[in-house]
Amino acid sequence: MRLRFALIGLFASVFATSLGIAASIYYVPLYIAYLGAGLEGVALMGVFRSLAYALLPAFVGRLADRFGRLRLYALSIFLNAAALVLMALSPTLTLAYASSLLMGAGYAFFWPISSAIAASISSQQGRLRAMAIYSLSWSTAFLIGPLVGGWLRTFLGYWGLFIASGLLVLLAPPWLTWIRLGQERQAGPITLNFPRAILPLYLAEIPHGMVYGVASSILPYYMAQNGLGDVEVGALFGLMGAARLLPLLGMLRPVGPGELPMLLAAMGLFLASFVLVGLLPHWGGFALGLGLLGLGLGLYYPAASSLISRRFDNRHLGLALGLLESIFGIGQMAGPPLGKELYTALGPGPSFVALGLLWLSMAPLLLAANRNPRNGGRGTAA
């Protein structure tokens, strides 16, 4: 019963925080453009938002391992709310960029700690299922959030959108009293002696992060340049959120194909998504491309986090998953500048086709991780 209450508290708080983030995240590039920035300014926003996320998660995860995950998790909620309020109060690009940096810091605390909590209260055998349920909690928020954000943007403007998003995040703290982790302090020596077989999975987070970095910065700008309004952009990203739920629901079954086949399938979906967006720059093409992107994102994260977390004991889950998020942040930071350069050099459509082909670089990394099943190369569904 205690574990059940802990899970309910975790998933409800993750949903509330993610709902506030999702309601606004895809409108930040549009707000940056509204303040007068062009494509270069939108890409710069993506870099600022990803900078803290590249530098902090591994360090934050280790702090949480040593000094208590729950208190740092609470801090992450308030950081995310503060970043959204600051964005609402940012009439200039300089302040908007500072808000983006604070957003990245909020994400750097929120995602690695909440995922470490989810992993720590599940068994080794049930890890994939637990991470799928955890992913369902925030993915459901990312289904609803863009639609809520589009409505708020229409009726309240950008100021109202960001303030309301911050208030949604603040629905999370009351649920923290439900979370019970038992022994919160789990001190142990820092070790980098992790199985070598999973190192390629960490490296694959760079192109994975680039996918999301481009999707959350350049892609909304590209859609707006092709005639879509704010509400249409939000609706299509809501569709992406709906598609992300489908593979997660499939992971709730006790038997599945295993993590690495899921990762390879996700890579193929990333490729197809960006190629379609580049070749069919209209509402139907964006809908199909974002649907495939959602399927890929739904497969990738729970499979990667499950496979990696099962190779570490509970004392080091914050470090293991924080490192995963840090490398993801590096890719997320690299994605917008690369996307901007390709957008300028090749043109809008061909740049997305080129980016789609870039995701093929994930294949050798994922296949390399499959060479040594004894050390974690071959996962099994929980």
Residue range 326-362, pLDDT digits in tens: 888 888 888 888 988 999 899 989 999 998 888 888 8
Burial class (CB in 10 A: 0-12, 13-18, 19+), 99: buried
Per-residue confidence (pLDDT) for residue 166, from 0 to 100: 94
CB of 144 within 8 A of CB of 241?
A: yes
Continuous H helices in 26-92: 28-34, 39-55, 57-67, 69-88
Closest CA to 278 of 293, 264, 265, 267: 293
pLDDT in tens, 222-258: 998 898 887 788 888 888 888 988 888 887 765 556 7
pLDDT in tens, 290-334: 999 999 988 888 888 878 877 776 677 777 888 888 888 888 888
Task: Give the DSSP per-residue string, 295-306.
Answer: HHHHHHHHHHHH
Q: How confident is the model at residue 124 (pLDDT cuts 50, 70, 90)?
A: low
- Residues of the chain with pLDDT > 90, as a percent, come to 20
The identity of residue 72, as a single letter, is: L
Per-residue confidence (pLDDT) for residue 192, from 0 to 100: 45
Per-residue confidence (pLDDT) for residue 193, from 0 to 100: 54
Per-residue confidence (pLDDT) for residue 187, from 0 to 100: 46
Task: Give the DSSP per-residue string, 164-205.
Answer: HHHHHHTTSGGGGGG---SS------------GGGHHHHHHH
* Both tokens assigned to 201: 């999975």
CB of 204 within 8 A of CB of 364?
A: no
Average per-residue pLDDT for the chain: 82
| pTM for the model | 0.74
